[in-house]
């Protein structure tokens, strides 16, 4: 599953990914580093704010590599 793979990539390699979210009737996009995830929720830190935020997995519409990141790990 692509979403699982990208969440793991961000967590394991401390890399920023793009999250598309639908929360409280609003669509939003954030660039963030995943710091924890499980079957129910994802904890992340955005590139704009140093505070930890939490989103329910059901509210994540898609995940993708951040612009300019091709997923290569050295």
Say if residue 70's pLDDT is above 70.
no
Mean pLDDT computed over 31-51: 95
Domain boundaries of the chain, sorted by first residue: 2-65
Burial of 38 (0-12, 13-18, 19+ CB in 10 A): exposed
Average pLDDT along the chain:
91
The domain 2-65 having CATH identifier 3.40.50.300: the answer here is: no
pLDDT for residue 71: 59
């Amino acid at each position: 599953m692509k979403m699982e793979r990208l969440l793991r990539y961000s967590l394991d390699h401390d890399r920023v990914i793009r999250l598309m979210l639908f929360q409280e009737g609003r669509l939003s996009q954030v660039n963030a580093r995943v710091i924890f995830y499980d079957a129910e929720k994802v904890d992340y830190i955005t590139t704009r704010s140093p505070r930890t935020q939490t989103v329910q997995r059901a509210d994540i519409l898609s995940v993708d590599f951040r612009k300019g990141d091709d997923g290569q790990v050295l």
